[in-house]
Structure 1
Amino acid sequence: MSKGKKRFLLRIDPELYEILEKWAADEFRSVNAQIEYLLKEAVRKAGRGKKIRTQADEDQT
């Protein structure tokens, strides 16, 4: 089995999607990339799991 990215279906409130869509556009990301970024940040801030590099980490180097 490939070690690429996992796919899954996400059902999301249309209003929340619109907010994410605008936010993603402001940061030059796709909605998918924005959701992944936000989840990684939440995991990092919560101290969960192994170290996940985020764009913020890369910007500091």
Structure 2
Amino acid sequence: MAGKKNFPLRLDPALYEILERWAADELRSVNGHIEFLLRDAAQRAGRLPGRTSAKMPGPRSEDE
């Protein structure tokens, strides 16, 4: 499995705070939530062919 690509991302501090709260609500790290949102957007736009063998993380249920 290939490693993940690292790169700096500059965000407006207010947007980062929103993402931080949203990620906490979904029980994810900010980085994990940004990746989830980008993957979801790419799939909805038809840029990501279906679900691959790598499972896309989704919302977690309360019993997890």
Q: TM-score surpassing 0.5? A: yes
Count of matched residue pairs = 56
Q: Where in structure 2 are there 5+ consecutive unaligned residues?
A: none
State the 1:45 CA deviation. 0.2
Deviation string for 1:5-58 (max 9, x for gaps)? Answer: 0000000000000000000000110000000000000000000133344224xx
RMSD (CA atoms): 1.9
Q: Where in structure 1 are there 5+ consecutive unaligned residues?
A: none
Residues of 1 paired with 2:18 and 2:42: CA distance?
A: 21
Secondary structure in 1 aligned to 2:17? helix
| Aligned 1:31-42 pairs, distance under 5 A | 31-42=30-41
State the 1:3 CA deviation. 1.8
Structure (1 or 2) with the greater helix fraction: 1
